[in-house]
Amino acid sequence: MQTKTNTKKDLSFEDFKAEVLNDYKVAVTSRECSLLGRREVLTGKAKFGIFGDGKEVPQLALAKAFKNGDFRSGYYRDQTFMMAIDELNIEQFFAGLYANTDLKEEPMSAGRQMGGHFTTHSLDENGNWKDLTKQKNSSSDISPTAGQMPRLLGLAQASKIYRNVDGIDAAKFSNKGNEVAWGTIGNASTSEGLFFETINAAGVLQVPMVISVWDDEYGISVHAKHQTTKENISEILKGFQRDKDNKGYEILRVKGWDYVNLIETYEMAGKIAREEHVPVLIHVLELTQPQGHSTSGSHERYKSQDRLTWEREHDCNVKMREWMIAHNIATEDELETLEKDIKKQVRDGKKAAWTSYLKPILKEKSEIISLLTQLAATSANKVFIEKLANELKDIKEPNRKDVISTARKALRYVISEESQAKNQLVTWIENYFAEIQPKYSSDLLNETETAAIHVKEVKPTYDERPEQVDGRVVIRDNFDAIFSKYPETLVFGEDSGNIGDVNQGLEGLQEKYGKLRVADAGIREATIVGQGIGMAMRGLRPIAEIQYLDYLMYALQIISDDLATVRYRTKSTQKAPLIVRTRGHRLEGIWHSGSQMGGILNLVRGIHVLVPRNMTKAAGFYNTLLESDEPALIVECLNGYRLKEPIPNNIGKFKTPIGVVETVKEGTDITLVSYGSTLRIVEQAAKELLEVGIDAEIIDVQSLLPFDLNHDIVKSVAKTNRLMVIDEDMPGGASAYILDEIINKQGAFKYLDSVPKTLAAQPHRPAYGTDGDYFSKPSIEDVFEAVYAVIHEANPSDFPKLR
């Protein structure tokens, strides 16, 4: 059903008619899917629906201008476009609506995202890159409004890098940077800050990006007059229009029901972006939303009768139909026959998708009913078990929840019984979870041999008398080695380029490797991360620098909702191995406290969170990650750049293992667990504890996500029988997370002779200055006294109360 890129001037009239008719078929098919999809939600077969009705014709035009190698970064209204590029068919549309977990039947997300979230597969079944230049590509959609915009910037910037940086193996990723990144967004979502941040950044960077604003004048029920100044996004963006003296945007407007002008507009936009590397904004006006925003409500509640009448008359499919009849493309009778046939195709496709979705669940239902029948025959609680089985039998179209819930409830009735039937039921339940749970939980991280946790450690080696240098020198020289070894790597951020970052960790590297590979960026953290996501999706290895950990908050939504979920929400058919570089720990002042770890840990599951205690450890993490293909956040110690470290003689080669802790000091009395800059405080406190006869073992976590994969900490607790976690985060933050990992997951509770303790910061941001730090975060004396108190409680005669 794919659209063709030929235009009327290239074709005979008969060929042109055939092309237009094919386009109309796609539009009608998409509309019928929307209409029937809404009914499926309202009848309960699907949970929720947002559909692309009213946007069909402009998406046909977009599809015609879209070429192999191009990328889309859109939102959940673009089903017509996906059908037009032949990446979505009727059955797949409904499989998404029903949340079918079979990736072959529901290739968008294997049921992990609701319908309307579209993607194409960038990776083959083995996790290797496909040739992205030979296919039309869609980066995986996310729901947060305007959240697709930062990634769009990176997808476009990749073309600029491939066009202008020599030495990169671009065979599977780019044809001389001629690819365009196409973004789509609803007019109401242009009110989001992410939209404006991306608009500004793309204008500065001058990247081949085309943004389509689908304007139907509403954001759910809220009219544009409450959304946008002048009720017109292209009007207020006029200042971005390029002219002969200034670079900027090409801004185009077109009516969303005007088939011919839409095609011409999109061809022009694609040509400008592709050839000149100039961003383009297309404001698509006078669109409609025939079924309202979603299945949650009716648009009749908030639209006037005049507006509803106008929408019926200006529906893009209706207008295209009128134009076809007026220009002798087709007759009324021919179109009625075509439309009737498409309605049947959509109904048949819907039925096939539902049958396919239900088939394995009905098989599972049959299996468990058989097992329950056998169980009831041997149980004293036969009546109750049969009741459960009959209730399940009565469910004609069950969910998996119905099946497994029934099985688990039945098990309760035979708790004190022993029988072969019970054993069979237990085995079935265990096997069911082993088979079914991964359909919903797999692929959060890379599960293949290319995962970062499989990269072997290579320890730093040193000369007999190594030179003691500032930590920044270690990280700088290691980056130098990285950029020399990997032409596809690049780093960018605030102050990263010209001055070599605020701590000189990139000193001199822009001069050596160029302004595109070591680049300054504006103060716009969300799009810095978005640049990285998009470029990583196109085969580059970006390092996005966020100047301080506190500033990560500006980008946390993008990291959490987009970067951390890429592999999961595509079931490993896409990846974005971005490294986010930042610095924190022991900072002073409310706004540079570096104490958001508890929040970060719980919001970014899907990426690695690494907290090296010095620059050698940090450098090793970069080296490890670049041998893998997973995203990560590395938090360097801000107060470590000027501290002296011995410089390794194998710079660029040593690797810090991920998910592995390190015992920094052995001891016998208590296990102290910490990370980052706080570890230095713990080390000093441990020296002072030795003076009073307390021998503490110190473990550096190094990696918070993943955490201690070898369970080495519990081995230490088994030896010392006591545990304390020290952290500069707020109470209940990272220290509580670490304690939970050690006590509950590693089972350390059975070795404890004392209550496990956490020592965290005060429950407020640190006050400014040296004293503010001392009275806000754990000090050496705090650690000393907290440890002493634990030992005093266990042995008060040898360790009298301190105070």
| Catalytic annotation, residues | 592
Contact between 103 and 78 (Cβ < 8 Å): no
Residue 411's contacts (CB-CB under 8 Å, 6 or more residues apart) are 422, 425, 426, 429
* Tokens 């974005």 found at: 576
Q: Residues 6 or more apart from 424 whose CB is under 8 A from it?
A: 371, 374, 375
Q: Reply yes or no: is the peptide bond before residue 398 cis, omega within 30 of 0.
A: no
Exposure string of 714-743, with b = 16+ CB inside 10 Å and e = fewer, is bebbeebbbbbbbbbbbeebbbbbbbebbb
Query: How would DSSP label each residue in 194-260?
Result: HHHHHHHHHHHHT--EEEEEE--SEETTEEGGGTSGGG-HHHHTGGGB--SSS--BEEEEEETT-HH
DSSP string, 137-185: EEPPP-SSTTTHHHHHHHHHHHHHHHHH-TT---TTT-STT---EEEEE
Angstrom CA distances, 18 to 83, 266, 321, stand at 17, 20, 14
Residues 58, 284 contacting (CB under 8 angstroms): yes
Per residue, what are the HEC states of 638-685? HHHCCCEEECCCCCCCCECCCCCCEEEECCCCEEEEECCCHHHHHHHH
Cβ atoms 516, 164 nearer than 8 A: yes
User: What are the angstrom distances between the C-alpha of 768 and each of 675, 772, 777, 780?
Assistant: 22, 5, 12, 19
Quickly tell me which residue has 């020599």 as its tokens: 166
b/e burial code for range 650-678 (CB count within 10 A of at least 16 → b): ebbebbbbbbbbbebbebebbbbbbbbbb
Cβ neighbours of residue 306 under 8 Å, at least 6 residues apart?
A: none
Handedness of CA 148, 151, 155, 160 (dihedral sign): positive
With 0-12 CB in 10 A as exposed, 13-18 as middle and 19+ as buried, what is 444? middle
Write the burial class of residue 243 (CB in 10 Å: 0-12 exposed, 13-18 middle, 19+ buried).
Answer: exposed
- Among residues 321, 323, 211, 263, the alpha carbon closest in space to that of 61 is found at 263
Strand (E) or helix (H) holding 617 = helix 615-625
3 state SS of 428: helix
Give backbone dihedrals phi and psi of 22, rounded to 5 degrees, phi first: -65, -40
Residue with tokens 């544009």: 224
Cα(646)–Cα(652) distance, integer angstroms: 15
Q: Residue 709's Cα: distance from chain center in Å?
A: 23
- DSSP H or E stretch at residue 39: helix 13-42
Take residue 422 and report the two structure tokens written for it: 């019970």
3-class secondary structure per residue, 308-321: HHHHHHHCHHHHHH
Three-state secondary-structure class, residue 707: coil
Q: Provide the 3-class DSSP secondary structure of residue 69.
A: coil
Percent of residues in the chain assigned helix, strand, coil, to nearest 5 = 50, 10, 40
What are the phi and psi torsion angles at 146 (to 5°)? 70, 0
3-state DSSP assignment of residue 6: coil
Q: How far apart are CA 555 and CA 607, in angstroms?
A: 14
DSSP labels, 330-381 = --HHHHHHHHHHHHHHHHHHHHHHHHHHHHHHHHHHHHHHHHHHHHHHT-TT
